[in-house]
Amino acid sequence: MNPEVLKATAQAMVADGKGVLAADESTGTIKKRLDSINTESTEDNRRTYRDMLFTTPGMEDAISSVILFEETLFQSSVGGKPFPELLSGKGVIPGIKVDKGAKPLAGAPGETVTEGLDGLRERLAEYRKAGARFAKWRAVITIGDGIPSDYCIGANAHALARYAALCQEADIVPIVEPEVLMDGDNTIERCEEVTTNVLNQVFARLSHQGVLLEGMLLKPNMVISGKGCSVQADIQTVAEATVRTLKRCVPGAVPGIVFLSGGQSDDVATAHLDAMNKLGPLPWKLSFSYGRALQAAALQAWGGVDANLDAGRAAFAHRAKCNKAAALGQYSADMEQAA
Ligand code: 13P
């Protein structure tokens, strides 16, 4: 483990006004996205789609790094260059999703634990050789009747810390992602309570397993009302609750916090990030690691049609620019109209 390499990579990923593009949809998830535009999920179509995003002119002004699925890490772009090389050539850092997904947790109905630790040391060595400089592991926590259990939170926190320690051993920066889902009908107060518990347990395990906080990034959910809750907290309330929770739970040694979008609409995800940064100064960089909120407009504009590749790039460039502004606390709704 080289702490200086880890720190430098983590800091570059959250350089001023920059964030992460999550383009690491698993085979099942990318199929759902392509189904939504009536496009078959072939290896070639997945290549074309991701190539469109990564060849967007000026993307690198807002996007420091891209999370890839394993297929893409070892795939060549439309122009024939391996994707990691195409990205590095633009000064964008390639990374890799390494977990094997959330699986039912034994003895805990309705809850999951994320798998993928077996053989991870060997896989990380291969990924680094292929150009990956950071990784992602997503734990999933569901709010419901009597859940999450402490057992579920503990099992996921333990696995996240084991993953993070293995990454750092291989000089790969771990993105630690404990996602409290926003799909329930819970209040924002309940989300704050659960998120607090989850983050406390995650940082206890990270410390116990000797993870270097300066050489990792946290990828949390925002503290937000469940989708099915009849009272939806407004932008300012979400920003204040999220920053309050993070200040209580996340040590200042962590260089950056990069949020997932989790099903928020594009402009709301951007507005939330902007409102949080306007509450600064903060102990860490607050930026984005959005999947859907960076890609949804581009996917629609492309629609699986070659003639629309530039329209897809333009839609992605717009969201990237808005989120760059939000990462600096300089976004305003006028930016959407200007597009
Ligand atoms: P969303 O922003 O679509 O939630 O995806 C981010 C991600 O990488 C989830 O693991």
In order of start, what are the domains of the chain with their CATH numbers? 3-338 (3.20.20.70)
| CB-ligand 1 contact for 293 (6 Å cutoff) | yes
326 by Cβ neighbours in 10 Å (0-12 / 13-18 / 19+) ranks as: buried
Which stretch of DSSP H or E encloses residue 175?
Answer: strand 173-180
CB 238 within 8 A of CB 272: yes
Predicted confidence (pLDDT) per residue in 19-66, tens digit = 999 999 999 999 999 999 999 999 999 999 999 999 999 999 999 999
Residue nearest ligand 1's atom 4 by CA = 262
Instruction: Give backbone dihedrals phi and psi of 246, rounded to 5 degrees, phi first.
Output: -65, -40
Q: Is the CB of 290 under 6 A from ligand 1?
A: yes
> Ligand 1 in contact with 262 (CB < 6 A)?
yes
Question: Can you list the residues of the chain whose pLDDT is less than 70?
Answer: 338-339
CB of 95 within 6 A of ligand 1: the answer is no
Tokens of 109: 């109905």
Q: Check: CB of residue 280 under 8 Å from CB of residue 27.
A: no
How many A from CA of 24 to the centre of ligand 1?
9
CA distance 256 to 250: 10
Q: What distance in Å separates the CA atoms of residue 262 and residue 277, rounded to the nearest whole number? A: 19
Find the DSSP H helices in the chain. Answer: 3-13, 27-35, 43-54, 70-73, 83-89, 120-129, 150-169, 188-208, 235-249, 266-277, 292-302, 309-327, 334-337
The pLDDT of residue 337 is 84
pTM strictly above 0.85: yes
State which amino acid sits at residue 65.
Answer: S
Q: Among 26, 290, 323, say which to mutate for ligand 1: greatest number of ligand atoms within 8 Å of CB.
A: 290
